[in-house]
Amino acid sequence: MTTEFRSDYAGDAGFDGLTPSQTVGPYLSIGLPWPDGPSVVEEGTPGAIRIAGTVYDGTGAVVPDALIETWQADPDGGFAHPDDPRGRPTGFRGFGRCPTDDAGDWAILTLKPGIVPDREGRPQAPHLDVSVLARGLLHRVVTRIYFADEAEANAADPVLATVPPARRSTLLATPERDGYRFDIRLQGDDETVFFAL
């Protein structure tokens, strides 16, 4: 009956019971992408911006089997979520999900988020939280997208202030002709800043 890997952990509730993360593997595109995943807002929505980028590995090779997920406030800084105590439901989905293609490219269409306070009430610069999932990542890695054209707000942002100054630029989406570019370097020179949650 007994084996080395018993899973009869009844009564083991509590933090010890946390389920470990595992990689999405190379075939995540079977189960995770949605047809409307990259469209946080519909094409043609006033004020919509495209945030696009490429994912690179430690040799600079593109990563064609990653998934990018984004989570963000609406343009007024509110979240469609019961734990936002300011409760201003706007119907804004706030969630984007886009697999990379064969060239390692991804893009989402969204609205620029507004100001979100930190726990002390200090304003945070406009930002999106980002999860990167891929073969070879045993646990998602988390980063933030800030906007290079928000220099004043970025300079006062309490989270950016904790990032070594020389690395902050890896968190800035840079304006392009039709939106912003945010490349993700998993490893190596100019490695993107990743956060511990």
Residues 58-117 that bind another protein (CB under 8 A): 58-59, 61, 63, 65, 69, 71-73, 79-85, 93-95, 116-117
In the complex with another protein, the residue whose CB is nearer, 13 or 178, is 13
Q: At its nearest, how many Å lie between another protein and the CB of residue 175?
A: 22
Cα–Cα nearest to 111, from 153, 86, 78, 82: 78
Considering beta carbons, is residue 115 or 176 the nearer one to another protein?
115
Q: Per CB under 8 A, does 42 bind another protein?
A: no
DSSP string covering 140-155: -EEEEEEETT-HHHHH
Dihedral of the alpha carbons of 144, 148, 150, 156, in degrees to the nearest 10: 60
Maximum CA pair distance of the chain?
64
Candidate residues 75, 101, 149, 194; the one interacting with another protein per rule CB under 8 A: 194
The piece of 28-36, 44-52, 104-112, 146-154 that touches another protein (CB under 8 A) is 28-36
Report the alpha-carbon distance of residue 68 to residue 161 in Å, rounded.
25
Among 139, 156, 174, 175, binds another protein (CB under 8 A): 139
- Does position 163 interact with another protein (CB under 8 A)? The reply is yes
Dig out the tokens for 115 from the structure.
Answer: 């100001």
Residue 173 and residue 140 in contact, taking contact as beta carbons nearer than 8 Å? no
Q: How far apart are CA 77 and CA 123, in angstroms?
A: 10
Q: How far is the CB of 102 from another protein (least distance, A)?
A: 10
Residues of this chain, 5-24, that bind another protein according to CB under 8 A: 5-9, 12-24
137 lines the binding site for another protein (CB under 8 A): yes
Q: Is 48 in the site for another protein (CB under 8 A)?
A: no
Least gap, CB of 183 to another protein (angstroms): 14
In sign, the C-alpha dihedral spanning 8, 12, 14, 18 is: negative
